[in-house]
Amino acid sequence: MEFSALLTSAGINIAVCVLFLSLYSVLRKQPHNFSVYFGRRLAEEKFQRQDDYFSFERLLPTAGWIVKAYWCTEEEIRQVAGLDSVVFLRLFIFSIRIFSITSLVCIFGVLPVNYHGKEMTHNHIPAESLNVFTIANIIEESRKLWVHCIALYIITISACILLYNEYKYISRKRLAHITGSPPNPGHFTVLVRSIPKSDNELLDDTIRNFFVNYHGSSYLSHQMILRKGHFQRFVNCPGALVFFKTRYAAVVASQVLQSSNPMLWVTDLAPEPRDVYWSNLWIPYRQIWLRKLATLAASVVFMFVFIIPVAFVQSMMQLEQLKKMFPSFRGILNKSFFARVVTGYLPSVVLLLSLYTVPPLMMLFSSIEGSISRSGRKRSACLKILFFTVWNVFFVNVLSGSVLNQLNVFTRPKDMPTMLAELVPKQATFFITYVLTSGWASLCSEILQVYNLVYNFFSKCICCCQQNTEYVYSFPYHTEVPKVLLFNLLGFTFAIMAPLILPFLLVYFCLGYLVYRNQILNVYYPKYEMGGKLWPIMHNTIVFSLVLMQVIALGIFTIKHSPVATGFTILLLVGTVLFNEYCRHRFSRIFEAYSAQDVIELDRDDEQSGRMQEIHQHLQDAYSQTPPGEGSSRSGGQVPIELILEDPAQEASESSQELCDTVQEVSEAHEHIIEEGKAHSV
């Protein structure tokens, strides 16, 4: 690919982006689209419905939304969208910072060195092959490689400093969030599973006796988990929620081994009420480990089997292959513009489309796994999708060739650095266009909400039905976090090899920051709070990206016969691993457990202010298994939980039992809401 082709591609994408963003700024002003673009605000009824009068201004693209999204403070975002949104946006801030530094170093330091890497007569720059800008242009045993080594050091050290500061900042935010938010019933409640059955005692009594006996001073009450269904109402009672008088007692009960048989009386701190994944509470505890192993195996198998169709489709997309398969299009394909579009675009579009099938499946795997909370399920799905994305987007494309060859690399870990060093630079062009197409386009698609827009258009304007539009969506962290982390990985791995990717990435991160801020403020409604628990995943993935960057650099320095640079890179690698270990020791437990000091202080505050009594009363009905229309909408001001969708595909993966049970209840609730809605509009 020539430099001019890259510019063409970039030009097309910039035009498309500007077009889509302008379209968005017009569409969002149309009242019948409010439910698509202001879901959260509508749901909270803070957004004033403007009367449906027509003005010319409504058809003009404006940039006001960018200004609004930019000037909103972090504290405001935390209040309306929770800590998780803040953490997600911090990932963008980190990315913008580190890739600004990286761009500076690599564009002004590494790029000229690459360009003048070997003695050759240079063409006019637009006609120059992209390879001239990559590390492939440096001759063997070149002294210029120390520039790359220094760049590697600057990037790694800056990234580590930034990462450490982010971890510290987010830890502090998390602690402030725990201590600052209103009392959470989850902090007082322990989920007990695998309760031994006694012949001469009711299960209810067994639970009461156990906790009165061993936690008598702090036990408050308990609530059996009831499995409801047409045939088995109030039977198979396999666990219970046990309420304690203080947070500290609940933390202690959840962390200390209860019985001398570790498979009995298993305790976990309960999720907050909206976060409980009820249908999974019915799974017998002794199945959980087996389910985890099985889903792990299934995910790994899926990850590897997925290569085959993608590789097939991608090889089909080669120009020569296309010409053979569609002889009638040969004329068009011979024209260089179309050829560029096809080779530059189609492979990544195919990849993008096939990737859409992954999240629902991974969400299904995570449901089967047996997580007790929706947030746990989402985190698990996020991890699975992350592994999947990094493997299937990065590695499979880098190791392109026959499917079997790809797998062989991983059976010879010793040869990996040199093999990656040979293969990665070759794919620089593909990944630069991938950033342009998949990256930029996904942001446009995100802000336009194409699926919902079309759905809304048909349901409102064509079918004239209204009820479905009251749904709001919760933020799909499990698909968005892996996406952003993938671009981080691409940035780091290609930084010193093909620095041309960096400006495009930087644009992606800046635009993404604005787009997601806007979406978080206007569209998504937080269904539950993960308390920033996604950050350790992000941190570890970024450290993995750094290590991968160093491993590939190691391979390159080996290939180019530069032993000194190799030695320095090994040193850097060891340093990075040590940094990660330190961070793990310093921070990770903050994201896993509550500290005695914090919860005792909270308990004392509540006791001294006399709020404890009130909290205890509220506890009893916080975890309601009654029909959601009655139960959860009581907690005034919040959107009823059944109206917040994770995402359409995921809802399909819910276990059928739960669906059967709730269909009737939800439909009743809907009728109620529709009636209210009609009364409102009249």
Residues that bind a copy of itself (CB under 8 A): 175, 214, 251-253, 255-263, 265, 289-290, 293, 408, 411-415, 578, 581-582, 585-590, 593-598, 600
Closer residue to a copy of itself, CB minimum distance, 257 or 463: 257
The residue (of 175 and 203) whose beta carbon lies closer to a copy of itself is 175
Contact call for residues 648 and 472 (beta carbons, < 8 A):
no
Nearer to a copy of itself, 428 or 590 (CB): 590
Taking the complex as a whole, the smallest distance from the CB of residue 505 to a copy of itself amounts, in Å, to: 33
In terms of Cα–Cα distance, which of 570, 524, 517 is closest to 547?
570
> For the CA atoms of 318, 321, 326, 329, what is the dihedral angle to 10 degrees?
50
> Is the Cβ of residue 299 or residue 456 nearer to a copy of itself in the bound state?
299
Q: Which of 242, 228, 561, 533 is nearest to 383 (CA)?
A: 533
Minimum CB distance to a copy of itself, residue 225 (Å): 21
Q: How far is the CB of 307 from a copy of itself (least distance, A)?
A: 17
Phi then psi dihedrals of residue 224, to 5 deg: -70, 150
CB 378 within 8 A of CB 359: no
To a copy of itself, the closest distance from the beta carbon of 575 in angstroms equals 12
Would you call 230 exposed, middle or buried from its count of C-beta atoms within 10 A (0-12, 13-18, 19+)? exposed
Query: Closest CB to a copy of itself among 335 and 589?
Result: 589
- Nearest distance from C-beta of residue 192 to a copy of itself, angstroms: 12
Tokens matching residue 1 = 């690919």
Nearer to a copy of itself, 124 or 414 (CB): 414
Q: What minimum distance in Å lies between the beta carbon of 576 and a copy of itself?
A: 13
- Who's near 277: CB < 8 A, 6+ residues apart? 271, 367, 371, 372, 373, 374, 376, 377
CB of 485 to a copy of itself, least distance (A): 25
Q: Which is nearer to a copy of itself, 19 or 176 (CB)?
A: 176
Q: How far apart are CA 78 and CA 87, in angstroms?
A: 9
Phi/psi for 265 (5° steps) reads 50, 55
Identify the CA nearest to 659 among candidates 270, 230, 224: 230
Distance CA(178)–CA(174), nearest Å, equals 6
Q: Which is nearer to a copy of itself, 267 or 280 (CB)?
A: 267
- Of the chain, the end-to-end C-alpha distance in Å amounts to 61
| Residue nearer to a copy of itself on the CB measure, 511 or 590 | 590
Indicate the length of the chain as a whole number.
682
* Residue 174 C-beta: closest distance to a copy of itself, Å: 9
Please identify, using beta-carbon distances, which residue of 202 and 257 lies nearer to a copy of itself.
257
Q: How far is the CB of 228 from a copy of itself (least distance, A)?
A: 29
Least distance from a copy of itself to the Cβ atom of residue 404, Å: 11
> Residue 219: beta bridge partners?
244
Please count the CA atoms within 13 angstroms of the CA of 648 that sit on its side-chain side. Answer: 8
d(CA 95, CA 27): 30
CB of 412: closest distance to a copy of itself in angstroms? 5
DSSP result, 588-644: GGGGT---HHHHHHHHHHHHHTT-HHHHHHHHHTTS--S-HHHHGGGSTTSPPGGGE
Q: Nearer Cβ to a copy of itself, position 332 or 574?
A: 574
